[in-house]
Structure 1
Amino acid sequence: MSRPEDTLPPDLFYNDTESRKYTTSSRIRNIQSSMTHRALSLLSLPRPSFILDIGCGSGLSGEILTSEGHTWVGMDISASMLAVALDSETSGDLLLADMGQGIPFRPGTFDAAISISAIQWLCNSETTSESDGTPQQRLARFFDGLYASLKRGGKAVCQFYPKNDAQKTMICAAATKAGFGAGLLEDDPETKNRKLYLVLTVGSEIEAGRKGDITEVVKGLEGVEVHDTRAGRGVQGGRVQKKEVKGSRSWILRKKEQMRKKGREVGQDSKYTGRKRRIQF
């Protein structure tokens, strides 16, 4: 099955028919709700905030932002999607704009930003505008604009579906080059429900009055593997992975604990759990 972004540009793919089909699908609404709540939990906002919803579509994520007490502005390239949002009398302000051309707001406007299932579209150069440029140029304009639009200490969470590792690397590199501190989270990596969340910060967590760094946001969360994509000192775009090795003791213990929480029977832990054994002849 082909991916939507491989067929048409988003402003053409999400026409009136597709926009209403997307919005009325109970499956999509449930998935969108789950991912938006996940993004909010990663933002960990201490109070009602002013949030930018990038690729807001018909306002499905916006409904949740409103229910959680936040004020929001949504931007999307599809006029049909925004028309559905207007018909549903969504509470957010809406803007017809292409995120690949940048984020058209004054510096420091927003406390935080979210984007659900949208930024992978930037990896395709096929658009309706000849001046859009390459995927790298579109990603650079997007992340540069997003960085400027957030307040110092602000955060953004972008859930996306990369086609391959090359796209994932390209997106992460563009974010760190723009100046963000970035952590790439992988929920349920070994299931078909695998989800990626790019967590971004403007300035360090310590500068923002919080303890620790971006990895503190996700430590202890079940079913998450952390990829620290921040640049190392003096190394632009460097990448360090902090990931459990499959089959290691810590990996086995975490998997067993997950199975216990699901009510399944697993063997007791011991000093031999995960221990490598020499081959016997």
Structure 2
Amino acid sequence: MVSRNKRPEHTAPPEIYYNEKEAEKYTLNSHIIEIQTKLSERALELLALSEDNHALILDIGCGSGLSGEVLTESGHSWVGIDISQAMLNVAKERECEGDLILGDIGQFLPFRSGTFDGAISISAVQWLFNSETSSQNPVKRIRTFFASLYACLSRGSRAVLQIYPESSTQLDLLQTEAIKA
């Protein structure tokens, strides 16, 4: 259990932190569900998709599918990617309608160019700032993430990334790498 003052990303890598117990607890927490739903609804608004268009959306760090439910309810199809098998297992148990992929967003997004009409990420991208081994370089992981995100989005589409930054330095790095992509 994480103390209220300690961020999950400082406790353990996401694939370890979000074990079966934490994944289930996260998904059943009514406060988390409410916040995740509101953030996902706002992210969808910011994508500025055509209202008469059925879009294919990438849910980055999809977890147990809470954001995906908002996408489904809005009439969109979605593909979710997450590093935690336990979170994806909960999404499957909940019978989420999106396609689910196990993957590390800091290594590469494994999708063809121009696949998605938009992308959302709720509370996942800040995990890229953590390096769990000496071979993991946060700047390289962020650069790889943005390059592969840019590639898999269709021309003119948007990505909405909600994060909990620790500093303005983190925000500056994200902005710099996003622009370079």
Aligned to 1:81: 87
Aligned to 1:40: 44
List runs of 5+ in structure 2 lacking aligned partners: none
Q: Secondary structure at the match of 1:101?
A: coil
Structure 2 partner of 1:139: 142
Q: What is the CA-CA distance between 1:7 and the residue it aligns to? A: 1.2
Which string of whole-angstrom CA distances, capped at 9 and with x for unpartnered residues, describes residues 24-69 of structure 1? 0000000000000000111110022000000000000001100000
Tell me, in whole angstroms, the C-alpha distance in 2 between the residues paired with 1:39 and 1:48.
16
Question: 5 Å matches for 1:153-192?
Answer: 153-178=156-181
TM superposition shift of 1:173: 1.1
Share of identical aligned residues, percent? Answer: 55
Unaligned runs of 5+ in 1: 179-281
1:139 deviation in Å? 0.1
| Partner deviation per Cα, 1:110-138 (whole Å, 9 max, x = no partner) | 111000000000011125xx64x210000
| Deviation (angstroms), 1:158 | 0.4
Paired with 2:14 and 2:91, the residues of 1 have a C-alpha distance of 16
2:70 to 64, 69, 72: 64
Contact 1:102 1:141 (8 Å CA) reproduced: yes
- The 2-side partners of 1:164 and 1:6 are apart by 15
Query: How many angstroms apart in 1 are the aligned matches of 2:95 and 2:34?
Result: 20
What's 1:230 paired with?
Answer: none
Deviation at 1:16, TM superposition (A): 0.5
- Select the residue among 23, 30, 33 that pairs with 1:29: 33
- Asked if 1:52 is matched to 2:31, the reply is no
Task: Give the C-alpha shift of residue 102 in structure 1.
Answer: 1.3
Using the size of structure 1 for normalisation, the TM-score is 0.61
Distance apart, 1:152 and its partner CA = 0.6
Runs (4 or more) in structure 1 with deviation over 4 Å come to none
Alignment root-mean-square deviation, CA: 0.9
User: What TM-score does the superposition give when structure 2 sets the normalisation length?
Assistant: 0.94
Residues 129-166 of structure 1 show CA distances to partners (whole Å, capped at 9, x for unaligned) of: x64x2100000010000000001111110000001111
Q: Within 2, Cα distance between the matches of 1:154 and 1:166?
A: 27
How many angstroms apart in 2 are the aligned matches of 1:166 and 1:156?
21
SS at match of 1:65: helix
SS of the residue aligned with 2:54? Answer: coil
Q: Distance in 2 between matches of 1:168 and 1:151?
A: 25
The 8 Å contact of residues 102 and 143 in structure 1, kept in 2 or not, is answered as: no
Structure 1 counterpart of 2:151, one-letter code: A
Partner in structure 2 of residue 16 of structure 1: 20
Q: Secondary structure of 2:166's match?
A: coil
Q: What amino acid maps onto 2:111 in structure 1? A: F
Name the structure with the higher helix share. 2
Report the number of matched residues: 175
Q: CA deviation at 1:172?
A: 1.2
Distance 1:2 1:103 in 2: 29
Per-residue deviation, residues 191-226 of structure 1 (Å, max 9, x unmatched): xxxxxxxxxxxxxxxxxxxxxxxxxxxxxxxxxxxx
